[in-house]
Amino acid sequence: MGGLTAWCVLIAAYPAHSITGHEQLPNLARTLSSGLFLVAGVLYLARGRLTDELRTAQFATALLVFGATVPAVAAIGPLLHEPHDMAQTAASTRALFLIPVFMLLLRATSAACHHSSVALSARRFTLEAATASGLGLAVALAARRLGGDGEGRALGVLIAIGTACWWLLVAQRTSRGTRGTTGRPAHLATGFILLATAELVRAWSIAGASPAIGVAAGFQLAAAMLIAYAAARSLWRAHRADASQSAELARAVVHLRGHLEELEAAQRERLHDARSAVVGVLGASELLSREGSAIAPDRLRGLMAAELSRLQAMLDAHSSEPISAFDLAPILAPVIVVRQLQGCDVDSDVADVRVVGRPGATATVLDNLLTNALVHAPGARIWIRTERLGTTVRVVVEDDGPGILPDEQGRVLRRGVRGSSATAPGDGLGLYTSVMAMQAQGGSLELDDRPTGGTRVTFALPEALPVAPHALAS
Amino acid sequence: MPTVAIVDDHLLLAETLRTALESSGVRAWIVPPASLDDLAEQLGAAPVDLVLLDLDLGAYSSNSTPMIGSLASLGIRVLVVTGSLDRLLIASALEQGAIGVQPKAAGFVELVRNTRAALTATGPLHPEQRAQLLGELHRARATRERELSPFLALTAREAQTLRALTAGHAVTEIAAQWVVSEATVRSHVRGILAKLGVSSQLAAVAAAANSGWLSEAN
C-alpha cells in the first residue's frame, strides 16, 4: 500500500516538471509490473512442481501469459501500424490482455464446479488454456471488426469485460477464503481488486483525463507487487511443508525397513525350526521302523509329541486358533517333559482341570516362560503348580534363580525390554508376547517375586463350567 | 571309538541322531544348548572328535558361527548342521574353520551318512564347492564394502546429522537440539548429499537404510 501511495504522489507531482516524464513513467510501471507478473508466474510454477499441483501450475501459466502480454502487445503494435503507446493501443490488440484473464476465470469456475480435491488432468489443463485463448482471440477479432468509428465503444466493452472478470475472480477468492478450504493469503484477492480498479481508471483515461493513465499503471504495479509477494510466500510455505514431509517420510522409510528386517528374521527362524522338526520326526520314524532300537519307545514318543506340538504352534498363528474348553494337564505335559528330558530340574504338579482358552497358545506361553527361566536363571530349580481362585485357574511357575528387581518387573513385560542385569542373550520379546497371548484368549499374566527368593510368573485362564447332568441326558 | 558331540536345541533331532549314530558304532553325546562361552568350554574339555553344530541355538544364540573358530583352534572338527539355506551364513561358517555344512533339508539319512563321512579325514565337502562358497562370501563382502565406502567418508558430525534425518528430524529441529545455527546443519546436509552422490535428503535417508549403514552403525 505504501508503494501505491508513493506512486500516486509521484504521478501528481510529475506532470508539473516534464511532459515526456509523464509518458515514460506509466510505461516504466507497465514494464516493471509485467516483469513482476513473470516472476510471480515462475514462483508459482516452482510451487506447482514442488507440490505436484497442476492447478497451481495453471495459475502460474496465466500469470506468465499476463506478464508476457505487455511486451507482446508492444511488439505487435508497430506491425499493425499502431502508435507505440499503451494508452492509445487499438481495442483489438488490447483484447489480448483478456486471454490470461479468461484463463484465470476458467480455472476458477472449473475448480469451483469440480471439488478442489479432484486433481486436474493434463488434458483438461490444455483444454482450458485453449478455450481461454480462443475466447480472447474471438473478442480481439470482434473488436477489430468494430474498429474505426466503433473503436471507442469497443474499448469500453473490453474494459467492462475486464473489470467484470477481475471482480468475479475477487468474489471467487474471497468466498474460498471464508470457506477456509485454502490457506492462501488475502493478498491475491487484494491484487485482483487493484487490477479491477486499474481497468476502471483506464476507462476514465479514455474519457480524456490524462493523469489517469499513470494512475492505472500504478494500480497495476501495486497489484503485480502484491501477487509476486503472495507467490514468494506460497513457494516458501510449500518448501517448508515439503521439508517436514520429507522428514516424516524418512521416518517412515526407516521404520518400514526395520519392520521388514524383523519379519524376515522371524521368518528365517521359523523355517529353521520347521526344518529341524521335520528332520527330527523323519529320524524318529526311521528309528521306530528299525528292530531293537536303542532308544526307549516311550521317550521317543514323548519327544515326538513335543516337537510336533511345537511345529503346530508355529503353523497356527495364536489369533487364528479357536478358543475352546480343554484339559490343562495333557496340553502342558509335553512342554514340561521336553524340558525334563533336556536335564532341567522341573517339578510339576498340574491339577486335572478344564479351562477355556487356546491350547496351543497356552503351551507356547509355558514354553516361553521355561526358556526364560533356563536362559536367565541357569541351573535353577523350577516348580509348576496350579491353583483355583474363584472361577479362574492359575498356573504358577516359580524358580529359585536370581529373580528380577522389583522396579523392573513392570518394565520387562513391555515390548523389547529386558532386565538391566540380564547377561544372557534374548530379544526381550518372550514375556511381552506371552502377556499378549494370554490377554488375547481372555486370560492374564503377572510377574512378581517368589517369597523365598527367585521369580514367580502366574498366568490365569477362566475355568470351564462343568457340563450339567441334564445336558448330558438330553 | 570316535566321539561326536551334538549341539542342537531340537531335542528330538538330537536324540534320534544320537541313537542312529550309536547303532552304527559311533559314540554320540548330546550337549544341551547354553551360552556360546559355556559351550566352548564344555566341548574343549571333553575328548570330542567331531562337533555337529546347529547355527541357530534358539533362545541362546541366533548365530553360533563365532564359536567355530575357538573349537577349530583346539583341533576339534566342526560340521555345521543347519536348517538355514543362507549361503553367506554357511560360507562364513566355513571361513571360521568348519569342515563342512550339512543342510537339514537334505533329510535324516543323509545327515547320518555325512556325519560318518565327516569323521574320516577328507570330510564331506567337495573342495570345489567350498572354494565356490568362499568366493561368494568374498564377493558379497567386497560389494558391501563398496556400498558402505561413501558413508565412511562422512565426518562424525555429518554421520550424526544423517542419523538424525533418518530418525525423522528436520534440519530446524536438529539445529535447535544441538544449539547450532540452521546454516551449520545445512552445510552438514550438503556434505552428506555430495558424498553420497544423491540430490535430496530423502534419497540420502533411503541410501542409509538400503546400504545397511544404519544397522551397522548402531
Nearby residues of B115 by Cβ (< 8 Å), 6 or more positions away: B4, B17, B21, B26, B50, B52, B79, B102
Q: How far is CA B22 from CA A285, A292, B9, B25, B37, in A?
A: 17, 13, 20, 5, 28
- A283/B215 touch (CB, cutoff 8 Å), yes or no: no
Residues β-bridged to residue B53: B7, B80
What pLDDT is stored for residue A420 in this prediction?
Answer: 47
Q: How far, in Å, CA of A400 to CA of A373, rounded?
A: 10
Please state the φ and ψ torsions of residue A203, each to the nearest 5 degrees.
-60, -40
- Contact map slice: A 141-180 vs B, CB within 8 A: none
- Whether chain A has a CB inside 8 Å of the CB on B90: the answer is no
Residues of chain A with Cβ-Cβ distance to B172 below 8 Å are 243
Query: Longest Cα pair distance anywhere in chain A, in angstroms?
Result: 128
Q: What is the pLDDT of residues A121-140, one digit of tens each?
A: 778 888 888 888 888 888 88
**B15 in contact with A, Cβ within 8 Å:** yes
- Which pLDDT belongs to residue A208? 63
| Contact predicate B3/B27, CB 8 Å | yes
| Arithmetic mean of pLDDT, A319-330 | 82
| Residue A232 confidence class, pLDDT cut points 50, 70, 90 | very high
Q: What share of chain A has pLDDT > 70, as a percent?
A: 76
**Which of B35, B104, B210 lies closest to A276 in CB terms?**
B104
Task: Compare all CA atoms of chain B with the CA of A340 and give the residue at the minimum distance.
Answer: B11
Contact A246 B200 (CB under 8 A): yes
Say yes or no for a CB contact (<8 Å) between A257 and B209: yes
Distance from CA of A426 to the nearest CA of B (A): 6
Are A425 and B59 inside 8 Å of each other by CB?
yes
CA distance to partner chain B, nearest, from residue A301 (Å): 10
Mean pLDDT (chain A) is 77
C-alpha cell at B47: 575328548
Mean pLDDT along residues B36-46: 82
The torsion angles phi and psi of A390, rounded to 5 degrees, stand at 65, -125
| Out of B17, B83, B109, closest to residue A272 by CB | B83
Residues of A in contact with B87 (CB under 8 A): none
- Which residue in B95, B7, B81, B99 sits closest to B44, CA to CA? B7
Distance between B32 CA and the closest CA of chain A, angstroms:
7
Query: Measured between CB atoms, which of B34, B202, B215 is closest to A250?
Result: B202
- Inter-chain residue contact A268 with B61, CB threshold 8 Å: no
Q: A451 vs chain B: nearest CA distance in angstroms?
A: 27
The most confident of A83-92, A151-160, A348-357, by mean pLDDT: A348-357
Query: Which residues in chain A (335-374) have CB-CB distances under 8 A to chain B?
Result: 338, 341-343, 371-372, 374
Phi, psi of A356 (to 5 degrees): -110, 125
Residues of A in contact with B165 (CB under 8 A): 247, 250
Helices B127-152, B87-96: inter-axial angle, 10-degree rounding: 100
Does residue A32 sit in helix, strand or coil? helix
Which residues from chain A sit within 8 angstroms of residue B8, using beta carbons?
276
CB-nearest partner of B12 from A249, A274, A307 = A307
pLDDT of residue A81: 59
Give the model's pLDDT for residue A185.
56
Q: Which residue has the higher pLDDT, B122 or B139?
A: B139
Exposed/middle/buried for A215, CB within 10 Å: 0-12, 13-18, 19+? buried
What is the number of other CB atoms lying within 10 angstroms of the CB of residue A262?
12
Q: What is the pLDDT of residue B15?
A: 85
CA distance A318 to chain B (A): 20
- CB count within 10 Å of CB A410 equals 10
Distance CA A280, CA A282 (A): 5
Q: How far is C-alpha A165 from the chain's CA centre?
A: 38
| ipTM of this predicted structure | 0.71
Contacts of A273 in chain B (CB under 8 A): 10, 83
pLDDT tens readout for residues A419-466: 444 444 444 446 777 888 888 888 899 888 888 888 899 999 998 876
Predicted confidence at residue A188, as pLDDT, reads: 83
pLDDT at B176: 93
3-state secondary structure of A53: coil
pLDDT given for residue A129 in this prediction: 86
Q: Output the DSSP codes for A354-390.
A: EEEE-HHHHHHHHHHHHHHHHHHSTT--EEEEEEEET
Per residue in B70-99, is it b (16+ CB within 10 Å) or e — as a string?
bbbeeebbbbbbbbbeeeebbbbbbbbbbb
CB contact under 8 A, B108 and A282: yes
Q: Is the pLDDT of residue A61 over 80?
A: yes
A348-361 burial code (b ≥16 CB/10 A, e <16): bebeebebbbbbbb
Specify whether the CB–CB gap between A47 and A39 falls below 8 A.
no
Mean pLDDT (whole number) for A98-105: 86
Using the Cβ of B105 and the Cβ atoms of chain A, whether some distance falls under 8 Å is answered with yes
For cell 541362546, the residue is B60
